[in-house]
Structure 1
Amino acid sequence: MTNSPATAHMTLDDVAVLIPAYNGQADVDLTLASFSESAPVHVLIVDDGSTPPIVAPAIANMTIEVLRMARNGGIERALQTGIDVLAQRGFRYAARIDAGDRSVPQRLAKQRLFMELHPRVAGLGMWTQVVTREGKPLFMLTPPAEPDAIRRLRFFRSCLAHPSMMLRIDAVRAVGNYRAEYRSAEDIDLFVRLMQRYDCANLPELGLYYELNEGGISATKRRRQVSSTLRLQLRYFNVANPYDWLGLAKNLLHLVTPYRALQRIKRSLLTSRASH
């Protein structure tokens, strides 16, 4: 891949990749090996009580720190702790990714450049290719790029792919950091609070390969996730926004529809859209 002049010489000294991990050493290794940047990459792995503990792999051009939590406390607590530690270390940006997902080359440089040029943007995502555990493409997530569209559609569709996000650390802490009040929907909770004071946007290009893991939060904790999302929708509901009404109806439907049926419907719709 040819680097643009803007990203080829960009430093990433104030950026850290933030990965919460609970077991899954092989997934951590796969994810970290996927990064390809012109500048050295800093990584903070928050080991959320793994047994055996996560070990930092040796990867060229990458400095990796493992922060071990005393016991498993959930992704919300792991992310909150990670943000606070990165702030203490002097980092300005946290680039999220989850174990098992893979980064597109130069993702960090592109996101950092955009955020340097757009200081009102506190969270920046990218388009995401959803794949199976074997790497087979399933469907592409191409959410809107503009902050106003993301605000309008925030509860109707997934506008910000959490593992693709680069976050401005001071802004995350200013709005209260990650929190456990809305379990399994900690990302939406954070994004809604960020958008009350700042902007969130997307770079309209591929930045992440997201592994659809049937054992992940979306499957095993789905009811809790949907319930938390519904509570968020009611708390921030805007009666003048038709997409808030549509989002409410959509999540009520999700609450009563089996997970596998929803996945089949989503894949069918997205495949049909891609073919046109």
Structure 2
Amino acid sequence: MTTPFPSTVVNVVLDDVAVLMPAYNGQQDVERTLASFVESAPVHVLIVDDGSTPPIVAPTLPGVLIEVLRMPVNGGIERALQAGIDALAERGFKYAARIDAGDLAAPGRLAKQRAYLEAHPRVAAVSMWTQVVTRDGRPLFMLTPPAEPRALRRTRFFRVPLIHPATTLRIDAVREVGNYRAKYRAAEDLDLFLRLMERYDCANLPELGLYYELNEGGISATKRRRQVRSTLALQLRYFNPLNLYDWLGLAKNLLHFLTPYTMLQRIKRSLFTAHTA
């Protein structure tokens, strides 16, 4: 059984970790996100500019070393992430810490995740709990997926197993299973996680690692039906009829397919309010 790693991290080394951020326009969001990293060692960042107009410019931030990889045209997040993973591997990095423009990192996130991965070589991806917030920073609800690999495998379709922009990945494992791919558009994260779980463990640190901005213009909103269709296809591909949570996850995703996005967000907010009242 994989056990949580202590929150206190000593002898911090981050030279083999790079933040991987795909970006399409949104210069201000890029700057705000990168400025949120608070670590005890220099932070390496690779921004994959997915054909922005004007091009993304690397901000100057103390303790943050930034490189911009420019894609020739806008090809979508799946291809941007694939190119980013390959570029980081070529540069000798061991871990890729995902984040999206507009989200904010909790202090010490990179050091904690790196320490966990170093201590658990069979874990290919580790994520953290996430606070969902509005564009102006108001808290909405917490995403708290299970910590243990066994629980993640069992509930992978009923609950989000790993929060993608809060996840740090073992680069060689990602490339071993075929890297990010565009086969399941707008669900490239779940596709990757499921392939990783076939050969490795995945886990969560049960503490806050990210403030996730609920952006009405993001993938989950503008490409929602495509995302749900891709998720359904993945559920059918990996479906285990002996697992109750696979049935529950299938029913949940069908409900998502039929429920308008705005109504779904209102339901989530009301459930969170009721839970915390």
Separation in structure 2 between the aligned mates of residue 185 and residue 267 of structure 1, nearest angstrom: 23
- Quickly say closer, same or farther: Cα 1:39–1:272, change in 2 above 3 A: same
Question: Partner letter of residue 84 of structure 2?
Answer: G
In structure 1, which of residues 212, 231, 234 is the aligned counterpart of residue 233 of structure 2? 231
Quote the offset at 1:189 in angstroms.
Answer: 0.2
1:79-90 to structure 2, matched below 5 A, reads 79-90=81-92
In structure 2, which of residues 44, 66, 69 is the aligned counterpart of residue 67 of structure 1? 69
Instruction: State the SS of the aligned residue for 2:9.
Output: helix
Alpha-carbon deviations, 1:193-215, whole Å to 9, x = none? 00000000000000000000001
Alpha-carbon deviations, 1:27-83, whole Å to 9, x = none? 000000000000011000000000000000000111000000000000000000000
Q: 1:178 matched to which residue of 2?
A: 180
Quote the offset at 1:5 in angstroms.
Answer: 9.7
Quote the offset at 1:109 in angstroms.
Answer: 0.3
Question: Partner letter of residue 21 of structure 1?
Answer: A
In structure 2, which of residues 51, 54, 57 is the aligned counterpart of residue 52 of structure 1? 54
Separation in structure 2 between the aligned mates of residue 130 and residue 97 of structure 1, nearest angstrom: 14
Question: Partner letter of residue 13 of structure 1?
Answer: D
Instruction: State the SS of the aligned residue for 1:37.
Output: coil
Question: Partner letter of residue 103 of structure 1?
Answer: A
Quote the offset at 1:157 in angstroms.
Answer: 1.2
Measured on the aligned residues, the alpha-carbon RMSD in Å equals 1.1
Separation in structure 1 between the aligned mates of residue 195 and residue 41 of structure 2, nearest angstrom: 32
**How many equivalent residue pairs?**
272
Alpha-carbon deviations, 1:143-172, whole Å to 9, x = none? 110001100110111121000000000000
**TM-score if structure 2 supplies the norm length?**
0.97
Q: 1:159 matched to which residue of 2?
A: 161
Structure 1: state its 5+ residue gaps: none
Instruction: State the SS of the aligned residue for 2:169.
Output: strand
Quote the offset at 1:129 in angstroms.
Answer: 0.3
Q: 2:29 matched to which residue of 1?
A: 27
1:88-167 to structure 2, matched below 5 A, reads 88-167=90-169
**TM-score if structure 1 supplies the norm length?**
0.97
Separation in structure 2 between the aligned mates of residue 220 and residue 147 of structure 1, nearest angstrom: 31
Instruction: State the SS of the aligned residue for 1:7.
Output: coil
